[in-house]
């Protein structure tokens, strides 16, 4: 069973837990970012967003468990348009802030049922990522499809916070935006120190042979025929040639949450 949480309280707690100095930007008609965050010699504007379960989802789970039925909440990885809308709103708020800063960052916290699936959907949305399978091997492919980071170059990074209501524990990942103008500056700055190894940088992962990235000039919008089969998909054909692989397929896995 879950309950609603307070976005600003979680965000403030999260940023302080990471070791940042946090100043609240007073609310106004300007609709700007929520916080000014400082760490050593860096300053960031931070907008905080929270994604919880709908009242209907919570009520259905409670009803199922109260009658001793198995509760299943379906989820599928891949792009999520709801998350994209939230990111679009955050981008506008970050852009409207004129406070002194080095970076613009979105803190996006997920909570409630199946937080792992929510986290992975969010990463698939910002990175346009999917799972590529070759035989019995697999790798993540970043920017396989249209991505929010490609569209929102004013967002230098997104902090993903995964909040467990029962244990009141939260853990974080920092997702760098390779298309942001401050990408190179941010990746070598003090600001990212609190995340340790919990940093996603697709460029570095691809350089180490741990991920695929299609070239920028490859068209991401596919026709219905190209979507029909991997053999017709020009992105998969391009990846096979670029990385000298065998036959590739892409998969967005189902990730249901089951509780009894």
Whole-model pTM over 0.85: yes
Evaluate if residue 78 carries a pLDDT over 80.
no
- pLDDT at res. 175: 98
Tell me: the pLDDT tens digits for 176-208? 999 999 999 999 999 999 999 999 999 999 999
Q: How far, in Å, CA of 238 to CA of 242, rounded?
A: 6
Evaluate if residue 225 carries a pLDDT over 90.
no
């Amino acid at each position: 069973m879950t309950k609603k949480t307070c976005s600003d309280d979680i965000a403030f707690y999260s940023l302080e837990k990471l070791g940042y100095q946090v100043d609240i930007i007073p609310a106004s008609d300007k609709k700007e970012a929520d916080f000014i965050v400082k760490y050593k010699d860096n300053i960031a504007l931070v907008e905080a967003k929270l994604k919880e379960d709908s009242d209907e989802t919570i009520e259905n789970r409670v009803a199922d468990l109260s009658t001793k039925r198995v509760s299943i909440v379906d989820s599928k990885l891949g792009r999520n348009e709801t998350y994209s809308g939230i990111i679009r709103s955050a981008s506008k708020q970050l852009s409207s802030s004129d406070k002194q800063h080095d970076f613009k960052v979105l803190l996006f916290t997920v909570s409630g049922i199946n937080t792992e699936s929510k986290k992975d959907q969010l990463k698939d949305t910002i990175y346009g990522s999917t799972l590529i399978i070759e035989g019995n091997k697999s790798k993540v492919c970043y920017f396989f499809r249209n991505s929010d980071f490609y569209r929102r170059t004013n967002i230098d990074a997104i902090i993903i916070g995964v909040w467990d209501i029962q244990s009141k524990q939260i853990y974080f990942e920092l997702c760098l935006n390779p298309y942001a103008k401050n990408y190179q500056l941010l990746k070598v700055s003090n600001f990212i120190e609190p995340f340790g190894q919990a940093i996603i940088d697709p460029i570095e992962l691809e350089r180490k042979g741990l991920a695929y990235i299609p070239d920028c000039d490859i068209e991401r919008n596919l026709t219905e025929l190209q979507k029909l089969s991997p053999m017709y998909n020009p992105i998969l054909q391009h990846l096979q040639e670029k990385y000298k692989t065998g036959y590739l397929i892409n998969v967005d896995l189902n990730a249901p949450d089951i509780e009894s």
